[in-house]
C-alpha cells in the first residue's frame, strides 16, 4: 500500500527505488492540491523570470504526504516496481513529514539552500518539481548544499532552415543547456557558503539528456529491447494475467530529483528515471503458402495440374496490448556521487 507509513518504513531512497512518483503537488504545481494551507505568497524572494528567486529561509521546510496516484493511467505493476504515487506538499499538515521543497516555472530560475532555520526535526528529505527538460544544479557543502532548478523552454534555435528535424531538436537542446548554464554561472547573489566556504563539494548538474530518452533515437530502441533484462530485475512483469509479456513500447520519460541526508549529516542527490511503457502479448498466425502461378498452370496444362508449392513458412505477428506501466529505470546519484549528471 502506498502511504506515508510505507515511505517512513522504507526510507527515502528505498521508497523511490520501488514507487514511481508520477505527481507532485504544490502551489507552483497545483495538481494534486497542496496539503493544509497553500504555500505563502512570500515563499520566495527575488524575480525568478529576470534573475533568480530564492526560497525564504523561514519557509524552506514544508510538509508532505504520500498516496496512490489514481490518475497515472498505468495499472500494470511488477515485483520491484509498484503502483505510481503522488506526493502532496503544503505549508502545514498534521502527520506530514518535513521536506525542503524547490518549485519551478517555465523560463525561470529558482534556488534553495538546505539550512534549517525553523527548528523542525527530521529535516532530512528534499524534493523539487518533476523534471522533463529542466536542469538541476547542486553546489556548496555536503552538510548544507544549495540546489537550483532552471528551465529554458522558451530558448530555441529559431527557424529550422536547412536543418533536419533531428538536427533542429539537437540544436534547440544545446541552446537550452547553454542558457541555463549562463544563468547559473551569472547568479551573483549566491551565499558565501557556496562561493568561499571550506570543504566545498564540486558542483554538478543534471540535464535532460541525463534522465530522458530521446524519441526516435538509438537509446529508445535499446530501451525497448531491454525488456528481458527488466523482467529479470523484477521491474517489468513476465506475465499480465495469463498472457506473457513479449514486447514493450516507450511512450514517455521523466524524472523526480530527490535528496536525503545520509550518514554524518551529509546530503546525497539522486534522480528517479522513469519510463511510461505499453506492454504487448505476441501471437503468430500461420499464413497459407501461395497458390500456383500462371506459369505453373500453363506448364502443367493437361498433366493433372501443377505439384504443390513449397517454400519457407510464413506467419503474421499480432500484438495484443496488455496495459501500461511506469517503470523505474534506475535511481542514480548525481551529487556528490557521479553515477549520472556532469560537472557544473
The three three-digit cell numbers of residue 223, written as one number: 530501451
* Measured distance CA(64)–CA(102) in Å, rounded: 13
Decide if 269 contacts 259 (C-beta within 8 A).
Answer: yes
Q: State residue 32's pLDDT score.
A: 41
> Which has more confidence, 30 or 158?
158
Residues 6+ apart with CB under 8 A from 10: 18
262-295 confidence digits (pLDDT tens): 989 999 999 999 999 999 999 988 876 666 566 6
Predicted confidence at residue 282, as pLDDT, reads 95
**Which pLDDT belongs to residue 36?**
43
SS3 category, 97? strand
pLDDT given for residue 166 in this prediction: 83
**Mean pLDDT in residue range 292-318:** 64
User: Which three-class secondary structure string do you get for 272-326?
Assistant: EEEEEEEEEEEEEEEECCCCCCHHHHHHCCCCCCCCCCCCCCEEEEEEEEEEEEE
pTM for the complete prediction?
Answer: 0.86
Half-sphere exposure of 227 (CA within 13 A, CB side): 19
Q: Per-residue pLDDT for 145 more than 90?
A: yes
Q: Which residue has the higher pLDDT, 193 or 72?
A: 72
Nearest Cα to Cα of residue 102 among 56, 139, 66: 56
**What gap in Å lies between CA 138 and CA 307, rounded to an integer?**
76
Q: What is the DSSP string of 194-239?
A: HHT-TTEEEEEEE-HHHH---TTSHHHHHHHTTHHHHHHTTSS-SE
Please state, for a pLDDT cut of 70, what percent of the chain lies above it: 83
Looking only at the bridges linking them, the beta strands covering 135-141 and 145-150 are antiparallel
Give the pLDDT of residue 140. 92
DSSP 8-state assignment for residue 39? P
From the centroid of its chain, how far is CA 245? 23
Amino acid at each position: 500500500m502506498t502511504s506515508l507509513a510505507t515511505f517512513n518504513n522504507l526510507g527515502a531512497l528505498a521508497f523511490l527505488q520501488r514507487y514511481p512518483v508520477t505527481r507532485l503537488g504544490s502551489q507552483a504545481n497545483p495538481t494534486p492540491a497542496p496539503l493544509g494551507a497553500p504555500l505563502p505568497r512570500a515563499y520566495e524572494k527575488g524575480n525568478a523570470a529576470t534573475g533568480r528567486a530564492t526560497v525564504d529561509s523561514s519557509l524552506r521546510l514544508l510538509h508532505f504526504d504520500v498516496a496512490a496516484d489514481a490518475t497515472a493511467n498505468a495499472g500494470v505493476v511488477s515485483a520491484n516496481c509498484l503502483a505510481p504515487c503522488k506526493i502532496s506538499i503544503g505549508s502545514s499538515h498534521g502527520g506530514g513529514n518535513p521536506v525542503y521543497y524547490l518549485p519551478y516555472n517555465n523560463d525561470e530560475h529558482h534556488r534553495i539552500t538546505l539550512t534549517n532555520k525553523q527548528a523542525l526535526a527530521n529535516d532530512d528529505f528534499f524534493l523539487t518539481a518533476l523534471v522533463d527538460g529542466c536542469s538541476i544544479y547542486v553546489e556548496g557543502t555536503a552538510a548544507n548544499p544549495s540546489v537550483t532548478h532552471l528551465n529554458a523552454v522558451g530558448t530555441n534555435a529559431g527557424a529550422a532552415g536547412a536543418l533536419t528535424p533531428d538536427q533542429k531538436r539537437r540544436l534547440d537542446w544545446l541552446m537550452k543547456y547553454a542558457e541555463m548554464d549562463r544563468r547559473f554561472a551569472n547568479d551573483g547573489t549566491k551565499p558565501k557558503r557556496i562561493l568561499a566556504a571550506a570543504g566545498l563539494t564540486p558542483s554538478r548538474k543534471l540535464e535532460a539528456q541525463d534522465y530522458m530518452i530521446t524519441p526516435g533515437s538509438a537509446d529508445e530502441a535499446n530501451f525497448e529491447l531491454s525488456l528481458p533484462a527488466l523482467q529479470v530485475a523484477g521491474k517489468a512483469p513476465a506475465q499480465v494475467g495469463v498472457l506473457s509479456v513479449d514486447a514493450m513500447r516507450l511512450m514517455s520519460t521523466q524524472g523526480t530529483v530527490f535528496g536525503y541526508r545520509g550518514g554524518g549529516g551529509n546530503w546525497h542527490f539522486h534522480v528517479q528515471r522513469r519510463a511510461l511503457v505499453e506492454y504487448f502479448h505476441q501471437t503468430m498466425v500461420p499464413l497459407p503458402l501461395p497458390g500456383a502461378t500462371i506459369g505453373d498452370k500453363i506448364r502443367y496444362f493437361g498433366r493433372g495440374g501443377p505439384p504443390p508449392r513449397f517454400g519457407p513458412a510464413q506467419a503474421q505477428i499480432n500484438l495484443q496490448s496488455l496495459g501500461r506501466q511506469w517503470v523505474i529505470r534506475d535511481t542514480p546519484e548525481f551529487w556528490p556521487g557521479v553515477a549520472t549528471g556532469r560537472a557544473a
